[in-house]
Amino acid sequence: MNFQVVKGMRDFLPEQAKKKQFIEDLCRRTFERYGFEPLQSPIVEDFALLAAKGSGGEAIKEEIYYFRDKGERELGLRYDLTVPLARIAASNPMLQKPFKRYCIGTVYRYDRPQAKRYREFTQADFDIIGSRSVLADFEILQVACDVMRALGLEFKIKVNSRAIMEELAKKCGVAPGQVRDCFRSIDKLDKIGPKEVGKELEAKGIDAKILEEISVNSFEKVKEALGEIECVKELEELLMLAKENGMKEVVFDLSLCRGLEYYTGSVFEAALNEGPSVGGGGRYDKLVETYGGQPSPATGMSFGIDRLLDSLEKILIVGPTTQVFVAPLSREFSLEASRLATKLRKFGIGVEFDVMERSVGKNLEYAKRRGIAFFIAIGENETKGRRVKVKETGSGTEKEFGIDDCAGIAGLVKSG
Amino acid sequence: MNFQVVKGMRDFLPEQAKKKQFIEDLCRRTFERYGFEPLQSPIVEDFALLAAKGSGGEAIKEEIYYFRDKGERELGLRYDLTVPLARIAASNPMLQKPFKRYCIGTVYRYDRPQAKRYREFTQADFDIIGSRSVLADFEILQVACDVMRALGLEFKIKVNSRAIMEELAKKCGVAPGQVRDCFRSIDKLDKIGPKEVGKELEAKGIDAKILEEISVNSFEKVKEALGEIECVKELEELLMLAKENGMKEVVFDLSLCRGLEYYTGSVFEAALNEGPSVGGGGRYDKLVETYGGQPSPATGMSFGIDRLLDSLEKILIVGPTTQVFVAPLSREFSLEASRLATKLRKFGIGVEFDVMERSVGKNLEYAKRRGIAFFIAIGENETKGRRVKVKETGSGTEKEFGIDDCAGIAGLVKSG
Is residue A75 within 8 A of residue A297, CB to CB? The reply is no
Same domain, A272 and A157: yes
Which residues in chain B are contacts of A334 at CB distance < 8 A? 135, 241
What amino acid is encoded at B47 in this protein?
A: F
State whether B40 and A90 contact (CB < 8 Å). no
pLDDT (tens, 9 = 90+) of chain A, 416 residues, equals 679 999 999 999 999 999 999 999 999 999 999 999 999 999 999 999 999 876 667 788 889 999 999 889 999 999 999 999 999 999 999 999 999 999 999 999 998 877 788 999 999 999 999 999 999 999 999 999 999 999 999 999 999 999 999 999 999 888 888 888 888 888 888 888 889 999 998 998 888 888 888 888 899 999 999 999 999 999 999 999 999 999 999 999 998 988 767 899 999 999 999 889 999 999 999 999 989 999 999 999 999 999 999 999 999 999 899 999 999 999 999 999 999 999 999 999 999 999 999 999 999 999 999 999 999 999 999 999 999 999 999 999 999 999 999 999 999 999 97
pLDDT at residue number A393: 97
Cis peptide before A98 (omega within 30 of 0): yes
**Average per-residue pLDDT for chain B:** 93
Residue B144 has pLDDT above 90, yes or no: yes
Of A37, A69, A338, nearest to B241 by CB-CB distance is A338
- Number of domains chain A is built from: 2
Same domain, B87 and B157: no
Q: How far is CA A62 from the centre of its chain?
A: 26
Is residue B396 helix, strand or coil?
coil
Of A21, A32, A97, nearest to B350 by CB-CB distance is A32
Domain final position from A249, A282, A312: A312
Residue B90 has pLDDT above 90, yes or no: yes
**What string of DSSP letters covers A109-136?**
--PPPBTTB-SEEEEEEEEEES--SHHH
Same domain, B295 and B235: no
Q: Does A49 touch chain B (CB under 8 A)?
A: yes
Comparing alpha-carbon positions, the chain B residue that sits nearest to A49 is B3
Q: pLDDT tens across B207-242, in order?
A: 888 888 888 889 999 999 999 999 999 999 999 999
* Burial degree of A58 (CB within 10 A; 0-12, 13-18, 19+): exposed
Q: Does B339 touch chain A (CB under 8 A)?
A: yes
Q: Is residue A1 part of a domain?
A: no
pLDDT at residue number B312: 95
pLDDT at residue number A260: 64
Q: Is residue B1 part of a domain?
A: no
Residue A104 CB partners (closer than 8 Å, separation 6+): A24, A27, A28, A122, A123, A124, A125, A305
Of B40, B241, B354, nearest to A12 by CB-CB distance is B40
Domain final position from A260, A289, A312: A312
Same domain, B98 and B55: yes
pLDDT at residue number A185: 87
In this prediction the ipTM stands at 0.95
Q: Does A98 touch chain B (CB under 8 A)?
A: yes
Is residue B66 within 8 A of residue B74, CB to CB? The reply is yes
Q: pLDDT tens across B5-37, in order?
A: 999 999 999 999 999 999 999 999 999 999 999
State whether B38 and A18 contact (CB < 8 Å). yes
Comparing alpha-carbon positions, the chain A residue that sits nearest to B367 is A35
φ/ψ (deg, to 5) at A100: -105, 105
Q: pLDDT tens across B52-72, in order?
A: 876 667 788 889 999 999 889
Stated as kind and residue range, the H or E segment containing A60 is none
Distance between B133 CA and the closest CA of chain A, angstroms: 6
Is residue A129 within 8 A of residue A111, CB to CB? The reply is no
Q: What is the CATH number of the domain that holds B212?
A: 3.30.930.10
Of B3, B292, B339, nearest to A2 by CB-CB distance is B292
Comparing alpha-carbon positions, the chain B residue that sits nearest to A320 is B35
Domain final position from A277, A312, A347: A312
Task: Determine the number of helices (DSSP H) and then strands (DSSP E) in chain B.
Answer: 16, 16
Give CA–CA dist B388/B379, Å, rounded. Answer: 9
Q: Which residues pair with A193 in a beta bridge?
A: none
Q: Does A17 touch chain B (CB under 8 A)?
A: yes
Q: Is residue B148 part of a domain?
A: no
Q: How far is CA B248 from the centre of its chain?
A: 21
Residue B387 has pLDDT above 90, yes or no: yes
Helix residue ranges, H only, A43-178: 47-50, 82-91, 134-150, 162-171
Number of C-beta neighbours around residue A97 at 10 A: 18
Three-state secondary structure along B95-146? CCCCEEEEEEEEEECCCCCECCECCEEEEEEEEEECCCCHHHHHHHHHHHHH
Distance between B245 CA and the closest CA of chain A, angstroms: 6
Q: Is residue B145 part of a domain?
A: no
Q: pLDDT tens across B151-206, in order?
A: 999 999 999 999 999 999 999 888 888 888 888 888 888 888 889 999 999 998 88
> Cα angle vertex A319, ends A313, A322, to 5°?
150
Same domain, A348 and A255: no
Query: Torsion angle, CA of A316/A280/A130/B352, rounded to 10 degrees?
Result: 30
Give CA–CA dist B276/A1, Å, rounded. Answer: 37
Same domain, A291 and A330: no
Which domain does A397 fall in, by range?
324-415
Same domain, A285 and A367: no
Same domain, B22 and B71: yes
Give CA–CA dist B294/B261, Å, rounded. Answer: 20
Residue B260 has pLDDT above 70, yes or no: no
Q: What is the CATH number of the domain that holds A374?
A: 3.40.50.800
pLDDT at residue number B366: 96
Same domain, B122 and B157: no
Q: pLDDT tens across B274-324, in order?
A: 889 999 999 999 999 989 999 999 999 999 999 999 999 999 999 899 999
Same domain, A80 and A138: yes
Q: Is residue A112 part of a domain?
A: yes
Task: Determine the number of helices (DSSP H) and then strands (DSSP E) in chain A.
Answer: 16, 16
Cα dist from A255 to A213, B333, B407, whole Å: 9, 32, 42
State whether A43 and B106 contact (CB < 8 Å). yes
Give CA–CA dist A347/A336, Å, rounded. Answer: 18
Q: Is residue B73 part of a domain?
A: yes
pLDDT at residue number B188: 86
Distance between A168 CA and the closest CA of chain B, angstroms: 28
pLDDT at residue number B2: 77
Q: Is residue B349 part of a domain?
A: yes
pLDDT at residue number B108: 97
Q: Does B38 touch chain A (CB under 8 A)?
A: yes
Q: Does A52 touch chain B (CB under 8 A)?
A: yes
Same domain, A361 and A214: no
State whether B11 and A321 contact (CB < 8 Å). no
> Cα angle vertex A140, ends A214, A169, to 5°?
25
Same domain, B216 and B159: yes
Length of chain B: 416
Name the residue with higher pLDDT: B3 or B28: B28
Give me the mean pLDDT over the B360-370 stretch: 96
Give the single-character DSSP code of A177: G
Q: Is residue B2 part of a domain?
A: no
E strand residue ranges, A273-314: 277-283, 298-304
pLDDT at residue number A39: 98
Q: Does B10 touch chain A (CB under 8 A)?
A: yes
Of B49, B65, B131, nearest to A355 by CB-CB distance is B131
E strand residue ranges, A153-249: 155-161
